[in-house]
Amino acid sequence: MHRFLAPVGVAALLLTATQTLAQMPRVELTASFYRIEAEVAADQASRVQGLMNRRSMAANQGMLFVFTQADRHCMWMRNTFLPLSVAFLDEQGRILNIEDMKPQTENNHCAAGPARYALEMNAGWFSGKGLKAGQRIGGVEKSPRPR
């Protein structure tokens, strides 16, 4: 009987994870004249999950983390297989700082000041587009309210 329940339990977990990813809201952002399609992590569960366990992400896609309050938030890469760059953003979407993060590490990458958002993109995306601290990411105000 246990042999039968284990695969059913695994299938239920996979279905739940797939449904969660499918239900994650998206928002269109702009950086200079570049368009970004971002999944939005606006609740605690999705912020904790982030981009963990993903093996690929399209070139102009990312994940926008919406925090309940502006603070010196930090990110890490536990169980994250993609090399990523993260831009910490203030209340208006201005880039405070950009950090490059190596896969499957637990080093803290922190905001240089009070950040309300963090935008994760494939590694090198920001530098490849010439984006730096002080520039604005448009559209963050259209993201769902944090919970």
| Number of residues in the chain | 147
Provide the Cα torsion 124, 18, 93, 97; round to 10°: -40
Residue 145, in any domain of the structure: no
Residue 7, in any domain of the structure: no
Asked whether residue 21 carries a pLDDT value surpassing 80, the answer given is no
Kindly report, residue by residue over 30-52, the tens digit of the pLDDT: 999 999 999 999 999 999 999 99
What's the mean per-residue pLDDT of the chain?
88
Give CA–CA dist 64/46, Å, rounded. Answer: 10
Cβ neighbours around 12 below 10 Å, total: 10
How confident is the model at residue 23, as a pLDDT? 77
Residue 11, in any domain of the structure: no
How confident is the model at residue 127, as a pLDDT? 98
Asked whether residue 10 carries a pLDDT value surpassing 60, the answer given is no
Q: Find the domain containing 99 and state its range.
A: 25-140
Specify whether the CB–CB gap between 146 and 42 falls below 8 A: yes
Give CA–CA dist 50/78, Å, rounded. Answer: 10
pTM above threshold 0.75: yes
Burial 41-66 (b: 16+ CB within 10 A, else e): bbbeebbebbbeeeeebeebbbbbbb
Interval 82-88 mean pLDDT: 98
| Maximum distance among all Cα pairs of the chain, rounded to whole angstroms | 60
Percent of the chain whose predicted confidence (pLDDT) is above 70: 85
* CATH number of the domain enclosing 69: 2.60.120.1140
